[in-house]
Amino acid sequence: MRASRALRTAASLRRGVATAAALPVRVHNPGGQHRVVVTKDLPGTRWLDILQAANCRVEVCSSTKTILSVADIKALLGTSCQGVIGQLTERWDQELFGALRAAGGRAYSNYAVGYDNVNVADATKAGIAVGNTPGVCHVPYRRRRQLWAGSACSRGAFLAVAEQQSDAARRGAAHSGE
């Protein structure tokens, strides 16, 4: 099913939840079972094809803001969101991972080479699997779990990986120190 490129606002997609900032989003695969929010438009279409093949409804923020605020991102998440692809310009810590978890989220992928903007310990506490988006840069991953998650995501297993890593996090086995 090809993507619906209708422009909508984040506020209109929330079931009865008013938001302070209505950010525009493009919705791809509106009938998808798993809602994934992408905080900025990404280059190419491979990532979108993979998510749509995994039956994801993909909502890409098309705001002209250079950097989204925490309030903006929380508004995008709303009350139901299974995964997020975020940016290096966003600080993902306890507040955002808590909001993602409250929305039913299980996975966060950082569209960047590193993950200095991501507090992995906070993600683990919230039961959120964290990985880098495959194909951003071909450098060795610093953690075995990231390599595994990146490889699985590139095969279209975004949410299956998230479930496995969230289960491992609940058992206390995820994200050991470097």
What's the number of CA atoms in the CB half-sphere (13 Å) around residue 74? 16
In a domain, 177, yes or no: no
CATH number of the domain at 21, please.
3.40.50.720
In a domain, 96, yes or no: yes
- How sure is the predictor about 114, in pLDDT bands with cuts at 50, 70 and 90? confident
The strand pairing partners of 59, in sequence order, are: 27, 37
In a domain, 15, yes or no: yes
pLDDT digits (tens, 9 = 90+) for 9-41: 444 443 333 333 589 999 999 999 999 999 999
According to DSSP H, which parts of the chain are helical? 10-13, 46-53, 70-77, 94-102, 120-126, 144-154, 158-170
pLDDT digits (tens, 9 = 90+) for 119-174: 999 999 999 999 987 665 544 444 444 444 444 444 444 454 455 444 555 555 44
Ranking 38-42, 65-69, 172-176 by mean pLDDT, the lowest is 172-176
- Rounded to two decimals, the pTM is 0.68
Rounded mean pLDDT of 44-52? 92
In a domain, 113, yes or no: yes
* Alpha carbons 28 and 51: distance in angstroms, whole number: 10
